[in-house]
Structure 1
Amino acid sequence: MAKVLFTKDNIKYVQLNKARLHEAIDVGTRSFFVDETVCKALDLKNNTIATNELEELFLKAAKDGVSVIAIDTTTDSVVAVSFNKLQVTYILIEIIAIKTEYGLQAKDSPDIEYYQEYSDRCKDNASKAFLSFMIGTDLVVDMFEYCKSDCYLEIMFLGVLSSYRGRSIAYNLCKASENVARVLYSGINIKESITEVPLDLQPFPKFVSAIFTSLVSQKIGRKLEMEVAASVELNQWTYNGKTFADRLGNNPAPIQYCCKML
């Protein structure tokens, strides 16, 4: 049974488990790919080929066992999701591998190499552009160095169905994600495996991070009292000969790299 983190206004915030995985991926596709700023710049809502290719990103994050979903208790349906990922330094990867007979599974390749290999497999140009953005964001600021820590929980793909907007669900998902990180940091293993293989406590996060790409999500970051480690204008990335900023119009806000120690 999935772990309930808290309930507020008929919305239950629960750790994502195997039983709800496909429903969560569907909600992510119908919300994150439609409304997130970079997804808007790439017009992913009108590109099912690209979104089908990019769904693997949700699954990869979910495998770390720290993602959170929001369930409407009146319908027992998933209405929002935060696909969270544990980011780990090379040094910690090596330490854990030494302690494990066969090394780490799913933690033995750097994210940048993974995104590049993933991009090579994709057929659609929008998919490749999104993955290029993912690679570029990893190069903006070294969050490990900035926070002097070897592991953090990243609030990576946050989406709320349009009919549930304006109810603080995105904020509560982020707060629930922070709660998961704090429990792990305290030494209690609450990771929720989406496979048959249980997850070890290590690696566990020492801080929470997120890349907020809109004024709305940046407001959530401020409410969570997260620190802004860096800001980058969206004109740094291009697609089909135009910058993301030009494609969005209306002078979009710089994206913010935010963090909070546990």
Structure 2
Amino acid sequence: MDTQWWVNDDVYCQPLTTDYLEEATKMLEISFYPEENVSMAFGISEDPQAVRELSDMTNEIAKDGISVIAIDKNTNKVVGTVFNKIQVKNDPIFNNFAKSWKSPRSKALVELMAEIDSLFNLFEYYQTDCLLELMFLGTATVYRGKGIAKKLSELTLEIGTNLAKGVNVRKSLDGTEMPLGPRPKVICSTFATIATQKIGRHLGFEIGAEKLYSEMEFQGTKFSDVITNGTTKITLEYKKL
């Protein structure tokens, strides 16, 4: 598998490395948390503590060696990212994070992620102990509409397919090889916007569960009152590798 993939003449993708980790995390802080539907509903960007806690989590996720970033060749700046996680059955990593967190906003976001996952148990459905989760997919605001998120998602699917076949494409943040480890049989993601749900259709994902924003609330405010961009639901989607 190559280590550089072009989106267009100006933007290319590569595995996330130590050199770009801080910048990739900052891009989420600037463009993802203030504008992504669920993050908006929880008011993540309004709470510096919540941002710090989620950044700690994405930094931990990055250690799995399967996250990807997009870079503008002209500025050498990160303009897109997807933090991907190898999920192992009965591993309470996210709950363990939430237990130590102080912000009710970040706690509620992780609790929602767990709730959506519980609506359709992929571990049981596929009788597997391991899956790959596409997480924290974001593009810098001025770079949207250029196919960057779609390319990052396609590359994540390619990574998952390789791992499922036993091809070790995992790389540590410093670029060294990692053990293959458990091989995922399924790729999944929680898609919270119309744009990412279209990506799910493009990749051939199936919808395992969905929940309307009108049925969800935080601190007395319905998600549907905050999310006014046309997206009406969150979906849990998956594809066998």
TM-score scaled to structure 1, two decimals? 0.83
How has the CA–CA distance of structure 1 residues 250 and 37 changed in structure 2, closer, same or farther, with 3 Å as cutoff? closer
Which amino acid letter does the alignment assign opposite residue 50 of structure 1?
Answer: A
Summarize the alignment of residues 174-253 of structure 1 with structure 2, pairs less than 5 Å apart.
174-194=153-173, 199-249=178-228, 252-253=231-232
Which amino acid letter does the alignment assign opposite residue 78 of structure 2?
Answer: V
Match in the other structure for 2:49? 49
Is 1:163 paired with 2:142?
Answer: yes
Instruction: Report if aligned partners of 2:116, 2:209 keep a CA contact under 8 Å in 1.
Output: no
Q: Distance in 1 between matches of 2:190 and 2:126?
A: 15
Q: Residues 141-172 of structure 1: CA distance to partner in whole angstroms, max 9, x if unpaired?
A: 11122334332211111110001011010000
Which amino acid letter does the alignment assign opposite residue 131 of structure 2?
Answer: Y
Q: Distance in 1 between matches of 2:145 and 2:165?
A: 32
Which amino acid letter does the alignment assign opposite residue 45 of structure 1?
Answer: S
Is 1:87 paired with 2:87?
Answer: yes
Which amino acid letter does the alignment assign opposite residue 85 of structure 1?
Answer: K
Q: Distance in 2 between matches of 1:35 and 1:231?
A: 21
Q: Distance in 2 between matches of 1:141 and 1:25?
A: 29
Query: CA shift at 1:186, angstroms?
Result: 2.4
Query: CA shift at 1:191, angstroms?
Result: 0.7
Query: CA shift at 1:198, angstroms?
Result: 5.1
Match in the other structure for 1:23? 23
Q: Residues 87-143 of structure 1: CA distance to partner in whole angstroms, max 9, x if unpaired?
A: 1224xxxxxxxxxxxxxxxxxxx23xx434433322222222212212322322111
Match in the other structure for 2:115? 136
Using the aligned pairs only, state the percent identity.
32
Query: CA shift at 1:187, angstroms?
Result: 1.8
Q: Distance in 1 between matches of 2:223 and 2:201?
A: 24
Query: CA shift at 1:61, angstroms?
Result: 1.4
Q: Distance in 1 between matches of 2:32 and 2:171?
A: 22
Which amino acid letter does the alignment assign opposite residue 7 of structure 2?
Answer: K
Q: Distance in 2 between matches of 1:223 and 1:158?
A: 15
Instruction: Report if aligned partners of 1:115, 1:134 keep a CA contact under 8 Å in 2.
Output: no
Match in the other structure for 2:133? 154
Match in the other structure for 1:94? none
TM-score scaled to structure 2, two decimals? 0.90
Aligned-residue RMSD, C-alpha: 2.2
How has the CA–CA distance of structure 1 residues 196 and 178 changed in structure 2, closer, same or farther, with 3 Å as cutoff? closer
Which amino acid letter does the alignment assign opposite residue 241 of structure 1?
Answer: G
